[in-house]
């Protein structure tokens, strides 16, 4: 059996509905890694919200964060490590125009640091999780503190009706060739600004080259629309049973079980 590259999304894919790794999932991933396959986290989460899971899974592979903008092997030098960035001026610009665009908070984040103009995150716990929770964990977002470009900018709008306004403003001012502005879907008021042309398949393709893995041996597992490019690129794009219908429409396969029923683990057990 050829060496396989297996890209795994975290939320609602690898993690159950409680946001945890089940023992069965941990063991299945460990077995794949011990058999010589590359199992790699590819997530929209920042590094600070992924490292615990990376360590819990006992991974030695690269980790891809910020929906493809950052790729590295944690605490190791890797020849293929990369970081695609967004201009920090956009964050300052948004804060200066926050009142006009009904923006509540702006979060700028890089591999090791996070900056925000507000320590009050969204009320929805699933969204608030991505915003800094306490004053110990972030720097104030201003020109004095933020002196480098960043991998991602999160914006919480007053409500989802202001999203189009913010999207148009950033895209028109900075250019779709430089940045992409994504919404989180449903009724979420959160938007994300990432470098243009970067998505989860960016990390998948870099790892495929780095480990010299055939395209036929590339797998990707996901559930949401930020997994679209990765699922589309992989020869084996596998969508969770609990995944979005639009993602299932382009899937090569769908798991028989949900993320809360060890769907990923059961699928990996079949592969190995």
Structural domain spans, the chain: 5-83+198-271, 88-195
Domain 88-195's class?
alpha beta
Which two three-digit tokens encode residue 85?
Answer: 């960035």
DSSP readout, 92-107?
Answer: HHHHHTTTTTTEEEEE
Q: Give pTM, 2 decimals.
A: 0.95
Q: What is the pLDDT along the chain (272 residues), one digit of tens a residue?
A: 689 999 999 999 999 999 999 999 999 999 999 999 999 999 999 999 999 999 999 999 999 999 999 999 999 999 999 999 999 999 999 999 999 999 999 999 999 999 999 888 888 888 899 998 777 778 999 999 999 999 999 999 988 788 999 999 999 999 999 999 998 877 889 999 999 999 999 999 999 999 999 999 999 999 999 999 999 999 999 999 999 999 999 999 999 999 999 999 999 999 87
At the fourth CATH level, the homologous superfamily of domain 5-83+198-271 is HAD superfamily/HAD-like (3.40.50.1000)
Q: Which of 71, 70, 73 lies closest to 61 in space, CA to CA? A: 73
What is the SS3 assignment for 247?
Answer: helix
CB 232 within 8 A of CB 250: yes
């Amino acid at each position: 059996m050829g060496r396989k590259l297996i890209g795994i999304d975290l939320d609602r894919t690898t993690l159950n509905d409680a946001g945890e790794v089940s023992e069965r999932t941990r063991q299945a991933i460990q077995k794949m890694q011990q058999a010589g396959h590359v199992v790699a986290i590819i997530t929209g989460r920042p590094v600070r919200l992924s490292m615990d899971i990376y360590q819990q899974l006992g991974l030695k592979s690269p980790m891809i964060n910020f929906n493809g903008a950052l790729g590295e092997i944690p605490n190791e030098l890797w020849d293929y490590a990369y970081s695609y960035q967004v201009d920090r001026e956009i964050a300052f610009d948004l804060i200066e125009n926050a009142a006009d665009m009904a923006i509540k908070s702006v979060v700028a984040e890089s591999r090791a640091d996070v900056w925000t103009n507000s320590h009050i995150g969204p009320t929805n716990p699933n969204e608030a999780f991505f915003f800094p929770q306490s004053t110990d964990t972030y720097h104030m977002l201003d020109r004095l503190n933020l002196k480098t470009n960043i991998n991602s900018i999160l914006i919480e709008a007053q409500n989802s009706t202001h999203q189009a306004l913010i999207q148009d403003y950033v895209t028109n001012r900075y250019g779709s060739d430089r940045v992409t502005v994504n919404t989180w879907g449903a009724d979420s008021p959160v938007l994300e600004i990432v470098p243009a042309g970067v998505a989860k398949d960016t990390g998948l393709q870099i790892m495929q080259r780095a480990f010299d893995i055939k395209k036929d041996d590339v797998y990707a597992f996901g559930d949401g629309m930020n997994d679209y490019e990765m699922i589309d690129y992989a020869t084996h794009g596998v969508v969770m049973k609990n995944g979005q219908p639009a993602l299932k429409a382009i899937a090569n396969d769908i798991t028989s079980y949900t993320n809360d029923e060890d769907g990923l683990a059961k699928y990996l057990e079949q592969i190995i």
